[in-house]
């Protein structure tokens, strides 16, 4: 998507010589709800607000920029402590967008799954035929030229405790209803449907559906009115009160799909006024188009929600968050990238 004349003017202001200043670990640049932290995200996660969205655009294992290892073999050990922290500080409302090469993602995927992240969809960034130039000598490498990256969507499904063991949401719903002593067929009466409740919300198979808030509230009310007295309250996670509809709505990640967007994102690499340069040199080889970061953030957040960007680079997620009225914590350890990001944040939409 080409930049408008107004956007071009804003972006052009960032293509200037980077400021020179002495940096100290822990430096922070702020604008509205956006914070750019100079330092390692591993040292910062505990002080950040709970994320609704995490945009990870870290090492790829292709030696594409400073700090990027030459091969993917070491990616699991690099990402593992970050993934563990994401799992610790995230909630069922959190969506993770993991950018990488196909091989880099495949190498890290088992670590994500082991830490409770559930694969949702793989999005292909198709950079177009123009990206082939200089990309690969196909006869030497014995493969077709690569013009793609992937952005993989993960969610962190809610887990529940039932009689001392951890169960999935699907299991918990069924087990809680069975505790009432009521037959499963009455879930349809509770939800005021003919057979959708037993077929969708209480099925054991892969066709299970998340009960909408209104349906959940009906189930809770019916179970606690007609269920066995000794088991009350039903559908409670603290043993004192049943979950409310508002609490239930926060038990899964937010998602909104705009018309016309699918899992293949055809967008050329960043160039022109959007590309950050210092004189004639690109500041960062892996700068992402803001349009693609916008897609990620807008799909799973609402205004005021918090975005994490652990591997800031040029902090595109911070810029997109600011533009969309979201809060953001970004971290970057390379001084030249952090300085470029702070300048970008100051001047982007003046």
pLDDT band with cut points at 50, 70 and 90 for residue 280: low
Q: Which helix (H) or strand (E) holds 214?
A: helix 213-226
Question: What per-residue confidence (pLDDT) applies to 19?
Answer: 57
Residues with Cβ < 8 Å from 334, sequence gap 6 or more? 66, 67
The tokens of 109 are what?
A: 């995927």
The answer to whether the beta carbons of residues 275 and 282 sit under 8 Å apart is yes
pLDDT of 7 above 50: no
CA 107 to chain centre: 18
The more confidently predicted of residues 284 and 18 is 284
Token pair 């160039």 is at which residue? 271
Q: With cut-offs at 50, 70 and 90, classify the pLDDT of residue 5.
A: very low
Task: Compute the distance between CA of residue 21 and CA of residue 207 in angstroms, rounded to an integer.
Answer: 57
Look up the pTM and report it: 0.90
What residue segments make up the domains of the chain, in order of their start? 29-157+253-347, 162-250
Nearest to 312 by CA among 38, 7, 33: 38
Q: Does the pLDDT value for residue 1 go beyond 70?
A: no
pLDDT tens, residue by residue, 58-112: 999 999 888 899 999 999 999 999 999 999 999 999 999 999 999 999 999 999 9
CATH number of this structure's domain 29-157+253-347, picked from the four choices 3.40.50.150, 3.40.50.300, 3.90.380.10, 3.40.920.10: 3.40.50.150
């Amino acid at each position: 998507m080409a930049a408008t004349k107004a956007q071009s003017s804003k972006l052009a202001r960032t293509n200037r010589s980077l400021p020179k200043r002495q940096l100290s670990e822990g430096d922070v640049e702020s604008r509205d709800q956006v914070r750019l932290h100079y330092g390692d995200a591993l040292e910062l996660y505990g002080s950040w607000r709970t994320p609704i969205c995490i945009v990870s655009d870290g090492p790829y294992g292709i030696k594409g920029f400073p700090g990027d290892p030459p091969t993917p073999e070491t990616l699991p050990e690099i990402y593992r402590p970050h993934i563990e922290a994401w799992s610790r500080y995230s909630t069922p409302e959190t969506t993770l967008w993991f950018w990488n090469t196909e091989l880099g993602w495949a190498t890290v995927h088992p670590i994500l799954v082991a830490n409770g992240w559930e694969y949702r969809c793989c999005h292909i960034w198709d950079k177009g035929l123009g990206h082939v130039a200089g990309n690969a000598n196909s006869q030497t490498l014995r493969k077709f030229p690569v013009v793609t990256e992937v952005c993989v969507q993960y969610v962190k499904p809610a887990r529940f405790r039932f009689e001392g063991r951890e169960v999935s949401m699907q299991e918990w719903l069924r087990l809680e209803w069975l505790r009432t002593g009521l037959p499963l067929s009455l879930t349809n009466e509770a939800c005021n449907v003919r057979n959708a409740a037993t077929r969708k919300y209480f099925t054991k198979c892969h066709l299970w559906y998340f009960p909408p808030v209104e349906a959940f509230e009906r189930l809770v009310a019916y179970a606690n009115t007609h269920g066995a007295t000794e088991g009350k309250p039903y559908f409670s996670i603290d043993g004192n009160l049943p979950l409310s509809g508002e609490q239930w709505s926060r038990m899964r990640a937010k998602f909104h799909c705009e018309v016309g967007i699918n899992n293949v994102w055809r967008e050329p690499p960043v160039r022109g006024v959007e590309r950050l340069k210092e004189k004639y040199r690109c500041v960062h080889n892996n700068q992402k188009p803001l349009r693609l970061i916008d897609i990620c953030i807008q799909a799973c957040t609402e205004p005021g929600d918090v975005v994490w960007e652990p591997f800031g680079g040029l902090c595109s997620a911070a810029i997109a968050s600011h533009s969309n009225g979201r809060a953001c914590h970004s971290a970057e350890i390379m001084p030249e990238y952090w300085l470029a990001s702070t300048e970008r944040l100051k001047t982007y939409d003046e």
